[in-house]
Chains A and B, each alone.
Chain A
Amino acid sequence: MKMILRPYCVSKPAVLASVLLMLSGCASVEPWVKPYERDKLADPIMAFGRHPVALQHVAHVRDSREAAKGANGSGGGGCGCN
């Protein structure tokens, strides 16, 4: 018998429900690294982009010579250390 493979379909309400379920899970998960445990993350050597002026130059040198571009750096912060 010939087997017909149907594309995997998920309804929009199911996707929304899944996303809400995943996100609502966050409310029950406590932050596991407390602020007083972030002294090492707050060390200047752990900063993303310790020297912004140098990072600008590094990115400029690369972008001028390579086809790839973008997604450099980070959204900043994150450790809530200060």
Chain B
Amino acid sequence: MSITEVEFQAAAAESAPEQAIEGRSQWQLTWRRLRHDKMAIASVITIVVIAGLAILAPAFAALTGHAAVQQYPNTGLSPAGLPVAPGKSGFLLGTDELGRDVFVRILYGARISLFVGLSTTLMATVAGVALGLISGYFGGWVDGVLARCIDAVLAFPFVVLALALAARFGPSLPIVIGVITFFSWAGVSRIVRGQTLSLKEKEYIEAARSLGAGPWRIMFVHIMPNLLGPVLVLATLLIPNAIVFEATLSYLGLGIQPPTASWGNILAGAQSYYQVAWWYLVFPAAALLITTLAFNLLGDGVRDALDPRTERIFAGQRRKKRRGKAASAAAAAGTAEG
């Protein structure tokens, strides 16, 4: 039986077309599902637009003719010394109390926010994945030490640490990035550790060991690809957290210092003037809200796309609704006929 099958398979192989048959990877399937998620695609477009505005901030600043830290006391302030409203004197989103262009400052603030959000997420994810893998795979005392570290970080009051560091070293961008990274890796690590604990019992890990694969190869070639899905979702959701975190620190005066623009310190300045200049508060707050919302919705979309079951649940609901409608229509038709 096997002989004939081998021959059959061999014959099939010979007659097969020349091009290699490429299997669809998990990522390709995920992307196909994500493409049909309107909310996720809208989020992606929003993020791309915001990123484009941030990257091209100097160009837009040149278009308006205003610099981010330049004060324009003649055009940017009313004769009474109050901020200028949006659209007046060439200030698209108005000015702040020093006569600076709010639009340009928001653009430069976006650079800080996105840079902090992406860099801290990248570092926290790399550190979290590596430490989680090591903790889960090796177990024993390594796991004990790392697990306690994770608990300690998660239990630590972040404002206290940020205050202490700002007091000791002075507030600066590296300190902000360091603090946010320090408080972000533990969550990733805990998820990765849990996944590793279950994945390392799989038979294919045993198969790799029987081939002579070492612990690092098993961790990074065999286990890591299997937990990239949850990590990707987590990382997408870490970005908005980090952006809000940075805004919080800057708002409290522990992060980016004026005159450098950051959404947090713009909002801090706005709180004394919003009654006379609503645009000073509303536009930076809206920028923060839209950005974090877009990342959060994208994270949800990625999670749904990675887990086909959630899609099926929604599809089922949709089907049910449709069927319900069809049934009621049929019933209506039936009564009409009767």
Q: Does B associate with A?
A: no
Which residues of A are at the interface with B, using a C-beta cutoff of 8 A?
none
Q: Could you list which residues of chain B lie within 8 angstroms of chain A, going by C-beta atoms?
A: none
